[in-house]
Chains A and B, each alone.
Chain A
Amino acid sequence: MIKISIQNEEFDVTAEIKQLSSKSIGAIATFCGMVRDSSKDSSLISLTLEHYPGMSEATLEEIAQKAKKEWPIDSITIVHRVGRLKPEEMIVFVGCASAHRHAAFDGCQYIMDYLKTDAPFWKAEETKDGRTWVSERENDKAAKKRWHLEESN
């Protein structure tokens, strides 16, 4: 099963993990992405996330499908928040449930690496100096390249 949710509301990590669980599941690996204050003087007031409705859900669904094809993963949940978030709030949750841990760990990392470069979300930081759009990170592009499983796509 694949569950994709793009939402304004906070998510409940424990509830998400419970939903992923079943009798045949021996491992659930999860990732939480947080609002981080990277401003020089720790003056981050908020982070506003926006997305391209339709394309964002379809992209996350496609990434999850690819992960399921590569590893024996039973269920995947991806929750991505949009709207105005405060420092230390959670932005994204990825959970992969499998019989064993390796597929669950790898699936989580793979999904995050592709989400970072392929899913149409954008962040704007609000500090006391105003609002600025966050730039893409070269590290993120490099991270995706390590999965040379599917260069054919």
Chain B
Amino acid sequence: MKIYYFAWVRDYIGYPYENISCPKTVTTIEQLAQYLKDQSDGHRRAFQDLSSIRAAKNQKFVANDSEVADTDEVAFFPPVTGG
């Protein structure tokens, strides 16, 4: 699964992109976030408070209970602040 990180989520994790293969037990955005949280100290800091993170699947905003598959492009980032 392709995973992108932006803004402070990327700063904590240390890189903007990773390609991971998840265990079969990971089927939703929230489970993916919980799984990623254990990958490193940076991931743990980034995913510490899931309520402060937004997710996109295939470049569309999705809710935490949205399903994810290996072929999806997922992104995690803070609430947007453009304009």
Q: Are B81 and A134 in contact (CB under 8 A)?
A: yes
Number of residues on chain B facing chain A (CB within 8 A)? 17
- The residues of A that contact B78 with a CB separation of less than 8 Å are 122, 133, 136
Which of B2-10, B21-29, B38-46, B63-71 is the interface stretch?
A: B2-10
Total residue contacts A-B, CB cutoff 8 A: 69
Question: Does B56 touch A at the CB level, under 8 Å?
Answer: yes
Q: Are A123 and B77 in contact (CB under 8 A)?
A: no
- The residues of B that contact A72 with a CB separation of less than 8 Å are none
Number of residues on chain A facing chain B (CB within 8 A)? 28
Per the bound structure, the CA–CA distance linking A117 and B81 in Å amounts to: 7
Could you say which of B77, B81, B82 contacts A80, with CB atoms under 8 Å apart? B82
Which A residues lie at the B interface, using CB under 8 A? 33, 49-52, 54-56, 58, 80, 91-92, 112, 115-124, 133-137
Cross-chain pairs A/B with CB under 8 angstroms, 9 sampled: A50-B7, A116-B83, A120-B6, A122-B6, A122-B7, A123-B81, A133-B7, A133-B8, A137-B81
